[in-house]
Amino acid sequence: MLGLLGLGAARHATLRGPLAPARLAAQPLCSPTGPARQLVHVELYDAGTMMGSARGMMMFVRAVPQRVHAGPVTFVATNAGSIVHEMLIMPAPARGVGSRPSRADGTVDESGRLGEASASCAPGVGDGLAPGQTGWVTLNLAAGSYEILCNEPWHYVAGMETGFEVTKN
């Protein structure tokens, strides 16, 4: 079993800003189960509301580490923000991370999605991660460039994406 508490405590010494220990202390006591895999911690967070909507907020995704080897990878996503988020893994767009066109509803096309963590204290797809909640997904990834993003309305266009690299073994 991969425990979040032990892994989170080891990271406290290097975290700054939105990923500081005070935020990690609020993590729920749940974690992925199964054989040990490469583990990537993904923090989803937001700052500064304007008129009570996602528009105008600064939003971020941070993955630690941002590079792993090809094979099974478990992404553990924690919502360290104040509103609902989700985490999707998609191949990086040809024009670069952050370049997906948005639709009228403020979301992007998910047809190339490889996996999602949006179920609270569980693996896979759910209704979104509420503030303080954690979810996860395990994928078998080939070498290449990927994008980790939140596709709640207006989150991607507000900057809620980051690049992720998978290298050959």
Domains, the chain, in order of start with CATH, read 4-167 (2.60.40.420)
Q: Express each pLDDT in 6-41 by its tens digit.
A: 333 333 333 334 444 344 444 446 777 766 579 999
Write down the pLDDT at residue 58. 85
Residue-averaged pLDDT of the chain: 81
The C-alpha angle with vertex 6 and arms to 89 and 69, in degrees rounded to 5, equals: 40
Q: Express each pLDDT in 100-118 by its tens digit.
A: 999 999 999 999 999 999 9
Q: Greater confidence, 26 or 46? A: 46
Question: What would the two tokens of residue 24 be?
Answer: 């990690």
Q: In this structure, what DSSP letter does residue 111 have?
A: T
Other Cβ atoms closer than 10 A to 55: 14
- Please give the Cα distance from 131 to 133 (Å, whole number): 6
Which residues partner with 40 through β-bridges? Answer: 75
